[in-house]
């Protein structure tokens, strides 16, 4: 490790840079208490330098500590500058905007980001500060889709992105914050107009080239499903892939092949090396080869739309090629961290993006673990060695990315090794045939032959993935995995790597201790959740959803057809259920008569009894009999009828009143004056109560 670090200075400076970025974002008092900041930096620096250097004299320790502090402060500085440039803007009216992203069709909407250039006040426009917002326009086939740099006139209400309303729900506000966006708006079909279509720019050129190549693909008799797969793998256009195909590839553990990424760039790099190999024998051949490869890779990045994953990979391979072109000795770790360093200086928020984390972890895992895994079995047969190399690469990448994959996606593809063996050859063939097709689309007969070969390759790929999904238990899902387990897991992986290098018994002892800690924590969390009963009122768009949890069983009662609400429930509630180990989930209607003795749940005519708690869901029905008052624990107001509400409060004597998200804002305002804030408003967030 010391040798690696001595040959890879970018490792030494990138790690403290990342520490500075992370501290700046997550530690609120970081900039206000310089004494604590300085002490923390010195302690972190000394510990890190002692860990990475077996024998340090005082001079080395002081110098390395100083360098570490400098780059932590650099991370703090670039992040603070980035945050200071973020501005929030809210308001309604007519706006002049300029797009900063090529538009994407998302269902019935067109989604893109734009800068707020000006706002119309009475008869004139007043300039704004170019705040970036996310916009959703109602899709209309009669309109030209806005491209990067186009100017639009829109009428909308710009609002701050809301925080998630339910526990463990995907934090869309934080996701957009890391992309430099704080506000957004929805625009009706008749409320937007493309007023100026900007001439050529690099992103529009990219989009035009991609559309041109796709139009050539559309001229041939290729199955629509296969065409969507080919377009995704070769050009990065994945909008046409249906939800079933996405789910099947995800369950097989090969979802990454449908988005042009480092894998695709790596395959292109290897193809180019093979094509240019005959020129290596010439004196100046090496310089010509690698400079040509750099140019072609950046052209490929242009064609695929300069997506962050492609730019990361192309930058990395460009640095490798540049070193090889001029016979510079290079350390692969130094090259990887150099590319990360450059990208983080440009945009420090990259470190918080899932794609960035996964791509760099996968590459580091492959570089470190793959040779060691491959060496476990010596294979002389060329064909078997090819398959074993795929297996060892897949194992190495999976080992490095598994903890963070479980954190974000909560599932594990059981047959990921089989999937990678099945698809890798096909992906390489599809990429190679795609390039041949785009180069020969104007040549009769040849183009038809290549198109047929492409169609067949995509069919084979899709067939393989479909069959893997038909195997028993293709995926383990709903895995409860949190930040603590992720950090412990990576500590275990790092210690394992150190043990491989040094074979030190003390490292192995700590490794065993952390493994024990991880399993103890998992068991404790399961036991704690298993012995907790809870009653949950979730905040979901204009719907009343109540959760009843007993041990690891949950019943969700909804006010509408579950199938219509399935997507909303998955987005808003599923992560909470996973994090509370509620793996057995049932659904039902609130007003349906039924007994569920297993979890002590009974419901009839909008009355619900769960263990010792009584709930009534009021949906606007007339309350005439007020003589016999009923004491209940929760009264959920799903619909408000002003003239009848006094009778509701007379009839029911609730300990808590809950206002459903189905209520209009003016209803809530009126209820607020009646109830005097003595209520729970689900529009502001969910409410969860533990029950003995």
Phi, psi angles (nearest 5°) of residue 114: -150, 155
Closest CA to 129 of 176, 160, 97: 97
Q: What is the pLDDT of residue 26?
A: 76
Q: What is the pLDDT of residue 32?
A: 47
What is the Cα–Cα distance from 227 to 439, expressed in whole angstroms?
Answer: 17
User: In this predicted model, which residue has the larger pLDDT, 402 or 326?
Assistant: 402
Sheet strands side by side (includes 613-618): 594-596, 601-604, 607-610, 613-618, 630-637, 652-659, 680-681
Q: Is residue 382 part of a domain?
A: no
The residue from 49, 84, 119 where one domain ends is 84
Q: Mean pLDDT, to the nearest integer, of 247-267? A: 85
Residue 63 has pLDDT above 80, yes or no: no
Q: Is residue 161 part of a domain?
A: yes
Q: How many domains does the chain have?
A: 5
Q: What percent of the chain has pLDDT over 90?
A: 16
**Do residue 552 and residue 622 come from a single domain?**
yes
3-state class (DSSP) for residue 168: coil
**Do residue 423 and residue 538 come from a single domain?**
no
Residue 157 CB neighbours (<10 A): 11
**Do residue 213 and residue 126 come from a single domain?**
no
Most confidently modeled of 272-276, 324-328, 403-407?
403-407
Closest CA to 45 of 70, 77, 80, 11: 70
The residue from 199, 220, 241 where one domain ends is 199
> Which tokens in the block code for residue 170?
């995907």
Cβ neighbours for 492, distance < 8 A, ≥ 6 positions apart: 511, 514, 515, 518
Q: Exposed/middle/buried for 231, CB within 10 Å: 0-12, 13-18, 19+? A: buried
What is the Cα–Cα distance from 623 to 613, expressed in whole angstroms?
Answer: 22
**Do residue 177 and residue 283 come from a single domain?**
no
- Given pLDDT bands bounded at 50, 70 and 90, which one contains residue 36? low
CATH number of the domain at 139, please. Answer: 2.40.50
The residue from 84, 103, 120 where one domain ends is 84
Q: Mean pLDDT, to the nearest integer, of 590-594? A: 73
**Do residue 50 and residue 185 come from a single domain?**
no
**Do residue 6 and residue 131 come from a single domain?**
no
Tens digit of each residue's pLDDT (9 = 90 or more) over 636-653? 998 888 877 888 888 888
Q: Is residue 394 part of a domain?
A: no
Q: Is residue 171 part of a domain?
A: yes
What is the Cα–Cα distance from 649 to 640, expressed in whole angstroms?
Answer: 12
- Residues paired with 614 in a beta bridge: 609
What is the Cα–Cα distance from 251 to 403, expressed in whole angstroms?
Answer: 17
**Do residue 324 and residue 453 come from a single domain?**
yes
- Residues paired with 554 in a beta bridge: 549, 585
**Do residue 329 and residue 269 come from a single domain?**
yes
Q: What is the pLDDT of residue 283?
A: 65
Q: Mean pLDDT, to the nearest integer, of 184-195? A: 85
Q: Considering all CA atoms of the chain, what is the largest pairwise distance in Å, rounded to the nearest integer?
A: 102
Q: What percent of the chain has pLDDT over 70?
A: 91
Cβ neighbours for 240, distance < 8 A, ≥ 6 positions apart: 224, 227, 228, 231, 232
Three-class SS string for 261-279? CHHHHHHHHHHHHHHHHHH
Q: Is residue 27 part of a domain?
A: yes
Q: Exposed/middle/buried for 521, CB within 10 Å: 0-12, 13-18, 19+? A: middle
Q: What is the pLDDT of residue 37?
A: 56
**Do residue 120 and residue 73 come from a single domain?**
no
Q: Mean pLDDT, to the nearest integer, of 602-607? A: 83
Residue 445 CB neighbours (<10 A): 8
**DSSP state for residue 284 in the 8-state scheme:** T
**Do residue 174 and residue 268 come from a single domain?**
no
- Given pLDDT bands bounded at 50, 70 and 90, which one contains residue 6? low
Q: What is the pLDDT of residue 51?
A: 54
Residue 2 has pLDDT above 80, yes or no: no
Cβ neighbours for 536, distance < 8 A, ≥ 6 positions apart: 546, 547, 548, 549, 576, 686, 687, 688, 689
**Do residue 525 and residue 563 come from a single domain?**
no
Q: What is the pLDDT of residue 207?
A: 81
Q: What is the pLDDT of residue 29?
A: 41
- Given pLDDT bands bounded at 50, 70 and 90, which one contains residue 1? very low
Tens digit of each residue's pLDDT (9 = 90 or more) over 91-139? 888 999 988 877 777 767 788 899 999 998 777 888 888 889 999 887 7
- Evaluate whether 231 touches 217 at the Cβ level (below 8 Å): yes
- Given pLDDT bands bounded at 50, 70 and 90, which one contains residue 497? confident
What is the DSSP secondary-structure string of 294-315? HHHHHHHHHHTT--HHHHHHHH
Closest CA to 108 of 187, 170, 197, 183: 187
Q: Is residue 224 part of a domain?
A: yes
Residue 456 has pLDDT above 90, yes or no: yes
- Evaluate whether 127 touches 117 at the Cβ level (below 8 Å): yes
Q: Is residue 158 part of a domain?
A: yes
What is the Cα–Cα distance from 532 to 548, expressed in whole angstroms?
Answer: 11
What is the Cα–Cα distance from 495 to 134, expressed in whole angstroms?
Answer: 42
Give the residue numbers spanning the domain of 675: 533-691
Q: How many whole angstroms from its chain centre is CA 21?
A: 19
Residue 185 has pLDDT above 80, yes or no: yes
What is the Cα–Cα distance from 170 to 503, expressed in whole angstroms?
Answer: 41
**Do residue 446 and residue 522 come from a single domain?**
no
User: What mean pLDDT, rounded, does the chain reach?
Assistant: 84
Q: b/e for 467-482, b at 16 or more Cβ within 10 A?
A: ebbeeeebbeebbbbe
Q: Is residue 169 part of a domain?
A: yes
């Amino acid at each position: 490790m010391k040798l690696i670090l001595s040959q890879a200075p970018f490792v030494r400076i990138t790690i403290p840079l990342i520490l500075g970025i992370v501290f700046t974002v997550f530690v609120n008092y970081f900039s206000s208490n310089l004494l604590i900041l300085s002490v923390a930096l010195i302690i972190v620096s000394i510990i890190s330098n002692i860990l990475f250097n077996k024998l340090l004299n005082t001079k080395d320790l002081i110098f390395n500590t100083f360098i570490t502090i400098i780059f932590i402060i650099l991370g703090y500085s670039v992040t603070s500058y980035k945050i200071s440039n973020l501005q929030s803007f809210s308001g309604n009216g007519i706006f002049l905007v300029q797009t900063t992203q090529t538009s994407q069709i998302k269902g019935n909407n067109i989604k893109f980001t734009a800068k707020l250039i000006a706002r119309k006040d009475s008869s004139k426009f007043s300039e704004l500060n170019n705040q970036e917002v996310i916009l959703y326009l109602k899709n209309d086939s009669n309109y030209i889709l806005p491209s990067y740099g186009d100017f639009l006139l829109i009428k909308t209400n710009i609002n701050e992105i809301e925080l998630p309303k339910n526990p463990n729900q995907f934090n869309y506000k934080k996701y957009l914050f890391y992309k430099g966006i704080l506000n957004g708006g929805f625009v009706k079909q008749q409320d937007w107009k493309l007023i100026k279509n900007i001439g050529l720019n690099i992103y529009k050129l990219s989009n035009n080239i991609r559309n041109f190549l796709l139009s050539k693909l559309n001229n041939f008799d290729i199955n629509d499903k296969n065409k969507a797969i080919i377009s995704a793998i070769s050009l990065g256009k994945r909008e046409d892939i249906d939800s079933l195909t996405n789910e099947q590839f995800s369950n097989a553990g090969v979802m990454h092949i449908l988005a042009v990424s480092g894998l695709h760039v790596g395959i292109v790099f290897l193809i180019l090396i093979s094509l240019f190999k005959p020129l290596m024998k010439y004196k100046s051949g090496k310089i010509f080869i690698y400079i040509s490869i750099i140019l072609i890779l950046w052209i490929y990045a242009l064609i695929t739309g300069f997506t962050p994953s492609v730019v990361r990979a192309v930058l990395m391979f460009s640095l490798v090629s540049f070193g090889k072109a001029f016979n510079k000795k290079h350390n692969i770790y130094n090259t990887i961290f150099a590319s990360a360093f450059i990208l983080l200086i440009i945009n420090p928020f990259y470190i918080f993006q899932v794609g960035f984390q996964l791509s760099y972890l996968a590459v580091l895992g492959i570089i470190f673990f793959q040779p060691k895994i491959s060496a476990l079995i010596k294979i002389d047969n060329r064909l078997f060695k090819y398959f074993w190399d795929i297996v060892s690469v897949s194992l190495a990448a999976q080992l490095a990315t598994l903890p963070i994959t479980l954190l974000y996606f909560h599932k594990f593809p059981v047959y990921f090794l089989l999937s990678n063996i099945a698809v890798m050859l096909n992906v390489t063939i599809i990429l190679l045939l795609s390039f041949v097709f785009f180069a020969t689309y104007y040549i009769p007969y040849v183009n038809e032959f290549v198109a047929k070969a492409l169609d067949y390759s995509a069919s084979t790929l899709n067939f393989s993935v479909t069959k893997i999904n038909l195997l028993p238990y293709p995926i383990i899902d709903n895995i409860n995995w949190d930040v603590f387990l992720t950090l412990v897991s990576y500590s275990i992986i790092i210690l394992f790597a150190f043990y491989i290098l040094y074979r030190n018994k003390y490292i192995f002892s700590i490794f065993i201790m952390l493994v024990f800690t991880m399993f103890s924590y998992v068991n404790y969390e399961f036991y704690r959740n298993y012995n907790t009963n809870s009653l949950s009122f979730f905040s979901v768009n204009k719907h009343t959803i109540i959760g009843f949890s007993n041990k690891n069983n949950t019943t969700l009662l909804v006010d509408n057809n579950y199938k219509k609400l399935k997507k909303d429930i998955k987005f808003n509630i599923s992560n909470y259920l996973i994090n509370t180990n509620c793996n057995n989930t049932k659904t039902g209607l609130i007003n349906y008569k039924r007994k569920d003795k297993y979890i002590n749940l009974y419901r009839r005519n909008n009355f619900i009894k769960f263990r010792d708690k009584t709930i009534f869901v009021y949906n606007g029905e007339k309350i005439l009999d007020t003589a016999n008052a009923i004491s209940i624990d929760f009264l959920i107001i799903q619909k408000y009828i002003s003239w009848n509400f006094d009778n509701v409060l007379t009839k029911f004597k609730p300990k808590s009143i809950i206002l459903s998200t189905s209520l209009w804002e003016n209803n809530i305002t009126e209820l607020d004056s009646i109830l005097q804030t003595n209520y729970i408003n689900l529009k502001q967030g969910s409410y969860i109560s533990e029950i003995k």
